[in-house]
Amino acid sequence: MTQSHPVSPELVHRARPADAFPHGWRQRDEHTFSVTAHWPHNHVFFEPVAGDLHDPLLVVETMRQSAMLIVHAGYGVPLDWHFMLTDLEYTANPTQLDVGGQPALIDVELEFSRLEWRGGKLSRLKVRWVLRRLGRLVATGSGQARVLSPGVYRRLRGDRTTPGDTTGCLPLPVPADLAGRSRAADVVLAASPQERVWRLRADTTHPTLFQRPNDHVPGMLLLEAARQAASAALGPAPVVPVAGDIAFHRYAEFDSPCWIQVTDAAPRRPGMTSVQVTGHQDESLVFLATLSAPRAD
């Protein structure tokens, strides 16, 4: 068995140690890796839901951070390169999400495939995740991503590489309980005149969602917006999205409104309530997500 390597927050693109969930990693074979992650029982943003369950989006964030860790530490991609997630799907087992009043140790297995290389560096990948807790299955998922050098990223972004700053120009948030949150500071939706449509509210001073300057709205903020929109549409109880998928079609920018809409077009899952959530900006599709939560009987 290979030795486990420690993890620094910058390897998972986090500035604060409290927001970096992977703590160690090792390589099992050429394209299979294991990551050890810790889930806090009282994270300020990924707080417990539905009484005493870990937030399912903590599952997604752990998957995302684990993949970035291996891309950098396992495949040698420099830290100043960009990790662009194009799609992700996950299914969590709610019986294994109980918080229990203490941090949880999570074992993450990652299997990489469909690898493409450019100039000797990884440029495209697919990853499959399996998360376990004390040997019991917590979640599975898969996703695809591109890995962009600074030069490729600059050409892709053109004149949009200036970090966003929404200080002083944010619309008012909807009530926190409507969005399924306990704090107004964590609400990423503002009201709109249309039913089941909200304006995205991206606060660049948020300590968890914006860990460093960013020239576009982060993908995790868009997934959080989808979750909050589902809660606002289906409430009054917050939606607990134990399964979901999201495809990103373009970057969300800071300089024009992005509209978040909920529809009932999602495929049905047995025992689940599912909704489709879209984001549109300048009449173009930004993302398409489907979220599923246990049906209330």
- In the chain, the DSSP E strands lie at 5-6, 22-29, 32-39, 82-92, 104-118, 121-133, 136-148, 189-190, 197-200, 243-248, 258-263, 272-281, 284-294
Q: Over range 231-246, report the average pLDDT.
A: 94
Q: Over range 201-206, report the average pLDDT.
A: 95
Give dist(CA 123, CA 241) in Å, integer: 31
Task: Report whether 273 contacts 279 (CB < 8 A).
Answer: no
**123-127, 168-172, 238-242, range with the lowest pLDDT:** 168-172
| φ and ψ at residue 39, rounded to 5 degrees | -105, 120
Please determine, for residue 107, whether its predicted confidence score (pLDDT) is greater than 90.
yes
- Mapped onto helix, strand or coil, the DSSP state of residue 274 is strand
Please determine, for residue 1, whether its predicted confidence score (pLDDT) is greater than 70.
no
**190 falls in which pLDDT band (50, 70, 90)?**
very high
**297 falls in which pLDDT band (50, 70, 90)?**
low
Average pLDDT over all residues of the chain: 94
Which among 246, 190, 251, 250 is positioned nearest to 215, based on CA atoms?
251
Residue 259 Cα to chain centre, angstroms: 19
pLDDT tens profile 118-149: 989 999 999 999 999 999 999 999 999 999 99
Which among 128, 94, 90, 136 is positioned nearest to 109, based on CA atoms?
128
Q: Over range 291-296, report the average pLDDT.
A: 88
According to the model, what pLDDT value does residue 167 have?
A: 85
**84 falls in which pLDDT band (50, 70, 90)?**
very high
Structural domains of the chain sorted by starting position, each given as residue range(s) with its CATH number in brackets: 5-156 (3.10.129.10), 159-294 (3.10.129.10)
Whole-number percent of the chain with pLDDT over 90:
85
Which among 26, 56, 22, 61 is positioned nearest to 38, based on CA atoms?
22
DSSP string, 29-66: ETTEEEEEEEE-SS-SSS--BTTTB--HHHHHHHHHHH
Q: Over range 71-92, report the average pLDDT.
A: 96
Straight-line distance from the first to the last Cα atom of the chain, in angstroms, rounded to the nearest whole number: 47
pLDDT tens profile 33-59: 999 999 999 899 999 999 899 999 999
Q: Using the 8-state DSSP alphabet, how is residue 102 labeled?
A: S
According to the model, what pLDDT value does residue 100 have?
A: 83
